[in-house]
Structure 1
Amino acid sequence: MSIRKDPPPHPGPSTIGMFGKRVQLKNTIGKRILNNNSAFSNLSNNFVVEKNSDFRIINTPDFFGKECPNPDQLVIDFLARCHPAPVRFILAIDTENSEEEKVVDQIKQLQEFFGENTTAHLIILFQDAEKFCLLDHLKQRFQTSLATANQNLLGEFKKWCSAHQPFLYDYKNYSEDVVERRKAALENISHNGDPPQQHGREGSHLVTPSTSQDALAVAAPERPVGDSVHTAGDGIFNIVLLGLSGTGKSASANTILTALGIKYDSKHLFKSEANSVITTTRCESKLVKKSSRVTVRLVDTPDFLDDQLEDSQEQVEECKTYCQREHCVVLLVLQLGRFTDRDRDILPKLEDKLGWKIREKTIVLLTHGKELKGSLDDYIRAEGGLSDLIKQCDNRYHLFNNKSKNNEQVRKLIEKFPIDDHKFTILGKDTKNDCLLL
């Protein structure tokens, strides 16, 4: 990756990308650079943009955490907020993450995100002056700048910016067209529905990330919801998994991802544990961009009927942005052999929360298929409540064995999707990569 030569002049404040793991330290640095004690107040780990006449600071979420679902989407969102303005980088190093190994890892990740030459446009700000001295050799190693987050930061930063040429991304890893469309979407949000911002703050929202290297942010959102923005108009087909805790929603989502060619490791898949452990507490999504015209988004959800779920309504609103009639299929996940009274009433309760008859687009997905003894049809007929539930979904049902690596079970599931054939068609199997082609 390289830096464009002779970047076009950009009038107005210099754009700065603020990276780091600790929100409070990034807040402090932003306030000192902007010389504004109110800037970034009460900032959560989200994208927020603040500016004055000299600087425009894009304060980013934590790109570096192990729990970061998808740096790809974050990079696209960051570039959309910069486009086409030149950008310089700050890496804020807090005391807790100031060991050399951790600092080097963050620098290398920035290079991976934005290119090897990122460090020529980077200033590393240390909270701890002692660590700044001990790691001074990183200046030569990465050809970058180091400083401490002191009270004289504004003056120092003005000097540093004036002595450097601006950075422009070359769009080798992410399409400039995609970034421009994302920028337009963010501007649409800012102009339609956001509350007025204070202290020079611009409208800003974080898109729930995906993990595929082929992920594309092509959303054209109509309204913000929670920390994520998606609508049915984004040209992406959503597979939304709903159900009670412990039924196997995350494991089933991973079975589908694996069949569609996503690498089988913790970075790319949903977190899934034993049935007794609740691992999904927020809506999570992952994009799969296939070789043909279809982009698929898998959406894993928490148990919306769990009274202990934090931010329950916020998560329901998040789910609504994916779960829209013409652009999704719903997989209602139930565990084979564990049909309870809560399962019996789940469909109308979910419909009440989501605001439409999801049964029109729902397939009942039974998990733990390995435990089935005999015929699935016989089992369903013997379970009166389950049979009634399946009838409400126009007799659409399917069985998964999430321990199996046979992709045929996913192929057969997709064939049952209640949608027009021209919208979602399996073309065949990629025998070389052992995954399904859409």
Structure 2
Amino acid sequence: MQQNRAPPPRYPEQLTIALLGKKIHIKNVIGNLILNDPSCFDSKSDTLVKGENISFSVINTPDLCDAEYPNPDQRIIDFMAFSHPGLDLFILVVDPENAQEEKVVGQITKLQDVFGEQITKHLVVMSPDLQSLEALAHLEEVFNVPIVAPTDNLPIECRTWCPVGHSFVYEYKDYSQGVVLRRKAAIEKSRAKNNWGSEDTDATSQATLQHNSAPAPPISTSVLAAPDRWFNIVLLGLTGTGKSSSANTILNTGGSKQDITPFRSEASSIPVTSHCEFRFMTKPFGIPVRLVDTPDFFHEDLRDPEAHIEECRKYCQRGQCVVLLVLQLGRFTDGERGILLKLEKRLGWKIREETVLLLTHGDDLRGDLVKHVETHPQLKSIAEMCSFRCHAFNNKILDNKQVTELVKKIPNYKKRFPKIARKEESGCQLS
């Protein structure tokens, strides 16, 4: 007889996440990215390992869908015992070698068979390979699960993927709760005996626990198989000019958000963006684009500005980026005098060659933008340095056209964005 199950307690400060999939090294990197700790997961063997900080408890699992493994049921029981009474999110990590549709469908179906149909409400399919993501994109509708790439913003995104109000609860339809609880007690006893550090000596399991009780410092970790395939759109400028709002306007191209966490944006005289953040998108550009929001490198409240400049240099590479230098229409401060020259000095190359001057509060513009710029000597000086590539954004509205027109001002845009160029020739707008 099935036992009554009470919902697991909610831990609003710490979420439990399980990493599923076949390639341990990719799961290691994603687990480290979630925990902001590059050394937490480093196992080379397919074992059950747990790492945590104050925000997340991450369980790195062996391949639970491998029917060829001796005694596969024991792997599943061990995992259920390790994560009892439930968890918040499953991440199915798909590597390029196993990205064929039939394999991924088989894995998801297996998970549904073992843990119940409701698992898809707590499931995200993740791949570091762009081609795999594109090939599997239609499965979003089939299983109603996100198909995503890992990013440096993964800790934030994990919270958005977790269903609000409840965790996933095991159904115990194939493995009784009594068996799972007995296995949990055996694992905990073995861990205590081994001082929480070495591998479980029980022959049926190699479950280990890595303790990371203190939060790790933020880091930037690239988990893409081919990071140079991403074209970078980098927004630079001082605090209060509207960099984050402009980035969100680009993210929202198409009239609705693309299931991507927006950049934090609010009116403030102190920096809201405290470090380089980025989001990945392929629509509507037709190529992989990394949209990068940056802090005000010249603000007195920014700690260790050189470290942030060094981070920005990774995305500001000649031939692989466009810079959007963001200023507010109708407001030019002393700090913005010579700003393009100052940025070039800090970044180490003439970014003017790849810069578009982006003016926010475009709804305040009266008349022609170029004429407005020409009548303001400081603006004109900057515009001349970047070959008068100027554009205005009204970040209060969702308007595909203003993004379309911005793209047309990116140097060599037809070569860089052939899909957009073809749409322009056919008279279509971005979508």
State the partner residue of 2:234.
240
Question: Residues 229 and 50 from structure 1, CA distance in 2 versus in 1: closer, same or farther, beyond 3 angstroms?
Answer: closer
Counterpart of 2:280 in 1: which secondary structure?
A: strand
- Whole-angstrom CA distance in 2 between matches of 1:300 and 1:317: 14
Contact 2:286 2:417 in 1 (8 A): no
- Whole-angstrom CA distance in 2 between matches of 1:292 and 1:335: 26
Letter matched to residue 191 of structure 2: L
Contact 1:241 1:333 in 2 (8 A): yes
Counterpart of 1:245 in 2: which secondary structure?
A: coil
- Whole-angstrom CA distance in 2 between matches of 1:436 and 1:63: 38
1:49 is aligned to 2:41: yes
**What TM-score, normalized by structure 1, do the two folds share?**
0.56
Return the match for 1:162 from 194, 204, 207.
204
- Whole-angstrom CA distance in 2 between matches of 1:262 and 1:326: 30
State the partner residue of 1:428.
423
- Whole-angstrom CA distance in 2 between matches of 1:236 and 1:247: 26
**Aligned residue-pair number:** 309
Q: Which residues of 2 match residues 117-132 of structure 1 at below 5 A?
A: none
Structure 1 position 247, deviation (Å): 0.7
Letter matched to residue 303 of structure 2: E
State the partner residue of 2:4.
none
Contact 1:283 1:319 in 2 (8 A): yes
State the partner residue of 1:330.
323
Question: Residues 50 and 422 from structure 1, CA distance in 2 versus in 1: closer, same or farther, beyond 3 angstroms?
Answer: closer
Question: Residues 228 and 246 from structure 1, CA distance in 2 versus in 1: closer, same or farther, beyond 3 angstroms?
Answer: farther
Letter matched to residue 41 of structure 2: V
Contact 1:241 1:299 in 2 (8 A): yes
- Whole-angstrom CA distance in 1 between matches of 2:200 and 2:339: 59
**What TM-score, normalized by structure 2, do the two folds share?**
0.57
Question: Residues 275 and 138 from structure 1, CA distance in 2 versus in 1: closer, same or farther, beyond 3 angstroms?
Answer: closer
Q: Which residues of 2 match residues 233-312 of structure 1 at below 5 A?
A: 234-259=228-253, 263=257, 268-276=261-269, 278-290=271-283, 294-312=287-305
Structure 1 position 405, deviation (Å): 1.6
Question: Residues 317 and 401 from structure 1, CA distance in 2 versus in 1: closer, same or farther, beyond 3 angstroms?
Answer: same
Query: What's the RMSD between the two structures over aligned residues?
Result: 5.1
Question: Residues 268 and 138 from structure 1, CA distance in 2 versus in 1: closer, same or farther, beyond 3 angstroms?
Answer: closer
**Ranges in structure 2 where 5+ consecutive residues have no aligned partner:** 1-10, 18-33, 70-74, 94-106, 116-167, 194-198, 211-215
State the partner residue of 1:5.
none
- Whole-angstrom CA distance in 2 between matches of 1:287 and 1:297: 5
Percent identity at matched positions? 37
Counterpart of 1:338 in 2: which secondary structure?
A: coil
State the partner residue of 1:393.
386
Structure 1 position 381, deviation (Å): 2.1
Letter matched to residue 373 of structure 1: R
Contact 1:231 1:322 in 2 (8 A): no
Q: Which residues of 2 match residues 222-241 of structure 1 at below 5 A?
A: 226-228=220-222, 234-241=228-235
State the partner residue of 1:110.
90
Structure 1 position 270, deviation (Å): 1.3
Letter matched to residue 249 of structure 1: K
**Ranges in structure 1 where 5+ consecutive residues have no aligned partner:** 1-19, 27-42, 66-73, 122-136, 167-199, 201-205, 209-224
- Whole-angstrom CA distance in 2 between matches of 1:116 and 1:155: 36
Counterpart of 2:200 in 1: which secondary structure?
A: helix
Structure 1 position 307, deviation (Å): 2.3
Contact 2:271 2:301 in 1 (8 A): no
Question: Residues 364 and 115 from structure 1, CA distance in 2 versus in 1: closer, same or farther, beyond 3 angstroms?
Answer: same
Letter matched to residue 154 of structure 1: R
